[in-house]
Amino acid sequence: MGLSESRGLGPGEAPSERQADEEDEAVAADPLLHMEARKGHCDTARQLLAQDPEALNSQDASGRTPLFWATEYRHESLVELLLAHGADPAVRDHEGNLCLHWAVYVGSPSIARMLLDAGSDVDALNGQGDSPLHLAAQERRYECLVLLLAHGAKVSLKNRAGRMALHCCKPSSPSWRALEAASARPPHPAERLLCRDISRGFEQVPIPCVNGVDQEPAPGAFLYVTQNLVSDSAVLPATGWGRSQHCECASSCSAPTCPCVERGLRSWYTPDGRLAPDAAGGTAEAGPIYECHMLCSCASSCPNRVAQRGLRTQLQLYRVPGKGWAVRTMQEVPRGAFLCQYFGELISSAEAAQREDAAYSFVVDMQAGPECCLDGRFYGSVGRFLNHSCQPNLLALPVVVGHEIPGIAFFSARAIQAGEELAFDYGERFWEAKGRRWACLCKSPGCRYRPSREGPTADAAAGDPGLGTSTSYPLRGFSRKSARSSPLKTAPRRSARPRRRPLR
Ligand SMILES: [Zn+2]
Ligand SMILES: [Zn+2]
Ligand SMILES: [Zn+2]
């Protein structure tokens, strides 16, 4: 049967099929590599593979390859090693399971991600007719479930019992709601998975890209980055790291004892790493938040380290008719949660003015230095795909993580449902500049810039901030060409300067 000794039934197995004695015999007779895969010994596995490369995809009495065992025992490094040696993720055990079924069954999103990256079929059915999505629903593996949904797993598949994944989980549970949201989407012609991860593995959670609308391929005219790049010496901070402000807190950083928290003029984060409720409302003064950084003596678990932990939410890049690319969350997001940062090239305003396409530039305030711009045109992150909404579910706040180089972080302004598009308000100045040529397509009841009857033209109306008509490349992200047009700058300039410690 090929079951582990430590656990009950595996995916696709009927209870009567289990016979412990047989299993023990099978285990005893297992080839060496299978045994090592169970134990997770990478070095030994490497040696065995060198001696006998054929062992890699050999199946034991239960039809399982070493990859199955490494998966079931959640040995991530070994799964990585076996895949790197060419282990085949399409092999099925005698119950018809792929390794992917097992990864989901034991609840390992990181192994499931590796298997999907290696080309595993997201909709494969095992002997019971269960897809990995069925198992994720049954076993309450929420992280795996949203990962599969983001990879375009079909929600309509029925198992042998005639049940869809939605029927395999508790009604009104988070998994149920995520499946329900996916089932309720307008029936686009089958959404094609264009790319498993636009971040090429650089984000902790993959960002798949799907298109069920047109023939547009996955966006490729930029390089995905997970840090800001400083390409222009004019924006380098005037002070060296040695004089950079940091804290020496021994325990948890909080106001009024931590200078980093104090520098933000208020406590922006709650102890559990959310944006403070009064800040999440969306109208609060616009930061910046000074997070603790690598010169601070506090632990990585410090509550004043939030944006720097990076993306943790399962997102998906998808195509919207008339709007181009958009970003949605595949899982529920509580109010005040950090979603992602806007990364790009940090350039001076002068340099930004020289650049032809300002579609992806975002003005940031250096406080201590010159005004500058984050341009996501050539180097950027998922933030560059966020569209505008007049009733946004995201809030953009400037955040400084170490030294004086600013960034932009997005937080949820309210609780967000699975499947919702993520958007933020580009700001009045944006629309003052663009409103004559473009109309807003956010369709929210409070839309301030909806298309008027006589104009703009249909073409131009299609050009929400997300879509330019004058260029073949979609104009999306933050279009704040002039330094004056940043909504961040429209917030009252706070009297931060006198309170900051002198830098010299
Ligand atoms: Zn501190
Ligand atoms: Zn700290
Ligand atoms: Zn600190």
328 and 427 housed in the same domain: yes
> Six-digit token pair at 177?
């709601």
Q: How far is the CA of 243 from the centre of ligand 2 (A)?
A: 17
Would you say how long the chain is, in residues?
504
Q: In this structure, which ligand is nearest to the CA of 255?
A: 1
Pairing mode, if any, of strands 406-412 and 315-320? unpaired
Judge if 334 and 405 occupy the same domain.
yes
> Which ligand has the minimum distance to the alpha carbon of residue 303?
2
On whether both 300 and 421 belong to a single domain, the answer is: yes
Asked if residue 194 is part of any domain, the answer here is no
Ligand nearest to the CA of 246: 3
CB contact at 8 A, 122 and 152: yes
287-296 exposure pattern, b = at least 16 Cβ within 10 A, e = fewer: bbbbbbbeeb
Ligand 1 midpoint to CA 297 (Å) = 7
**At a CB cut-off of 8 Å and minimum separation 6, what does 267 contact?**
254, 255, 261, 276
Whole-number Å distance, alpha carbon 279 to ligand 3 midpoint, is 20
The rounded mean pLDDT for the chain is 81
**Nearest ligand to the C-alpha of residue 299?**
2
Residues 160 and 279 reside in one and the same domain: no
Helix or strand run (H / E) with residue 102? helix 99-105
Q: Which residues in the chain show pLDDT less than 70?
A: 1-9, 12-30, 187-189, 234, 236-243, 280-287, 358, 365-370, 403-404, 429, 433-437, 452-504
pLDDT tens, position by position, 391-447: 999 999 889 887 667 788 999 999 999 999 999 988 776 777 666 667 788 888 888
- CA of 367 from ligand 1 middle (Å) equals 21
Q: Is residue 200 part of a domain?
A: no
CA of 249 to the centre of ligand 1 (A): 4
339 C-alpha to ligand 2 centroid (Å): 20
CA dihedral 223, 224, 228, 232 (to 10 degrees): 0
Ligand showing the shortest atom-to-Cα distance for residue 401: 3
Which residues have C-beta within 8 Å of that of residue 418, sequence separation ≥ 6?
A: 146, 174, 177, 178, 181, 182, 329, 330, 331, 332
Same domain, 290 and 155: no
Together in a domain, 356 and 458: yes
Query: Which ligand approaches the C-alpha of residue 293 most closely?
Result: 3
Q: What ligand is nearest to the CA atom of residue 304?
A: 2
Q: Please tell me the predicted confidence (pLDDT) of residue 266.
A: 80
* CATH code, domain carrying 167: 1.25.40.20
The answer to whether residue 68 sits within a structural domain is: yes
User: Are residues 178 and 265 located together in one domain of the fold?
Assistant: no
Q: Per the structure, how many domains does the chain have?
A: 2
Q: Given strand 372-375, what is the order of strands in its sheet?
A: 229-230, 345-348, 372-375, 361-364
Interval between CA 497 and ligand 1 midpoint (Å): 19
In a domain, 142, yes or no: yes
Residue range 301-348, pLDDT digits in tens: 999 999 999 999 999 999 998 889 999 999 999 999 999 999 999 888
Looking at the fold, whether 166 and 230 belong to one and the same domain comes out as no
Separation of CA 246 and ligand 1 centre (Å): 7
Q: Report CA(305)–ligand 1 centroid distance (Å).
A: 10
Give dist(CA 116, CA 330) in Å, integer.
17
Neighbours of ion ligand 3 (CB under 5 A): 247, 260, 292, 296
- Which domain, by its residues, includes 285? 223-499
- Domain stop point among 184, 200, 234: 184
How far apart are alpha carbons 162 and 149 in whole angstroms? 20
Ligand 1 centre and the CA of 291: distance in Å?
A: 9
Clarify whether residues 177 and 237 are in a common domain: no
> In this structure, which residues have their CB less than 5 angstroms from ion ligand 1?
247, 249, 253, 258, 260, 298
Cα–ligand 1 centroid distance for 412 (angstroms): 25
The rounded distance, in Å, linking the Cα atoms of 110 and 83 is 13
356 CA from centroid of ligand 1 (Å)? 42
Distance between Cα 347 and ligand 1 center (Å)? 30
Contact criterion met (CB below 8 Å) for 402 and 295: yes
Centre of ligand 1 to C-alpha 227, Å, is 23
Helix axes 42-51 and 32-39, enclosed angle (nearest 10): 160
Q: What angle do CA 258, 259, 260 make, to 5 degrees?
A: 90
C-alpha 197/C-alpha 317 separation (Å) is 9
Tokens found for residue 67: 């990859």
Can you give the CATH number for the domain in which 375 is found? 2.170.270.10
303/451 same-domain check: yes
Residue 7 maps to a domain? no
Q: In whole angstroms, give the CA distance from residue 145 to residue 138.
A: 10
Residue 335 Cα to ligand 3 midpoint, Å, equals 25
Nearest to 259 by CA among 246, 268, 273, 241: 246
Q: Residue 315 Cα, ligand 3 centroid: separation in angstroms?
A: 30
Cα of 199 from ligand 3 centre, angstroms: 29
Task: Say if residue 281 is in the same domain as residue 380.
Answer: yes
Q: Considering the domain boundaries, does residue 193 fall inside one?
A: no
Residues 284 and 143 both lie in one domain: no
Last residue of a domain, one of 136, 168, 184: 184
**How many whole angstroms from 282 Cα to the centroid of ligand 3?**
25
Last residue of a domain, one of 184, 200, 232: 184
